[in-house]
Structure 1
Amino acid sequence: MTTFCTTCGACCAAFRVDFAREELLSEGGPVPDGLTVPVTGRVMRMRGTDHAPPRCAALVGTIGTEARCGIYEWRSSPCRELEPGSDGCLRARRCHGLPALPESF
């Protein structure tokens, strides 16, 4: 996790996070079941990410100040795939009024 990720948290409060049921801890994956809600028989969602505004139940802290994923080591695949500085990261930061990351982060 980069330094920016431990103070940002914008991605945890900008997107709906859906993933395969097989990623649940009870199914042999890393994601704690209690932080999820079922979408279909095969798709789960991180609790809170379907709220308006979204905020993942695993997000700890204040966005843009000191924020982090409380289950970073056990996060779902969509969260693992979102790269710092990516288009998705920058969209989330803009959504929360945060500046783009520096080129050399």
Structure 2
Amino acid sequence: MPSRATPDDSPCTACGACCAHFRVSFYWAEAEHNGLPAELVEPLTPTYSCMAGTNAAAPRCAALSGTVGKAVACTVYPQRTSPCRELQPGDDKCNRARAKHGLPPIAA
């Protein structure tokens, strides 16, 4: 989900909370279709996979680089999955993740 290598004016480049809060699960074929490296994908079920690192008690996407709340980037931004594309700065999921990391909400 996304805090990814986005335009400099995006609040995501200084956040990363969603990438270190949610499990990023998707239909297994999406990873192959998007060209994600195999080491960044973990199987969940025969039908679903997730981004490596996000199915943990303390999730953090393996594609996230940097420090949450400071400066971050997604190392596979062009290949990101649908859950990452759907989450938007300031939406409910974004602000829940930001709150968990002690960051103020973003107005949508």
TM over 0.5: yes
Question: Helix, strand or coil: the match of 2:12?
Answer: coil
Matches of 1:13 and 1:81, distance apart in 2: 16
Partner of 1:61: 66
Matched letter for residue 21 of structure 2: A
Shift of 1:21: 1.1
Matches of 1:55 and 1:29, distance apart in 2: 20
TM-score (norm 1): 0.88
The percent of aligned pairs where both chains have the same amino acid is 50
**Higher mean C-alpha displacement, 7-16 vs 29-38:** 29-38
Partner of 1:98: 103
Partner of 1:24: 31
TM-score (norm 2): 0.86
Matches within 5 A, 1:81-96: 81-96=86-101
Residues 1:64 and 1:85: Cα distance change in structure 2 (over 3 Å):
same
Matches of 2:82 and 2:57, distance apart in 1: 22
Taking only aligned residues, the RMSD between alpha carbons, in angstroms, comes to 1.4
Q: Deviations over 1:53-94 (max 9, x none)?
A: 110000100000011211111111111110111000000000
- Report how many residues are paired: 101
Matches of 2:57 and 2:65, distance apart in 1: 18
Partner of 2:16: 9
Q: Which runs of 5+ in 2 are unaligned?
A: 1-5
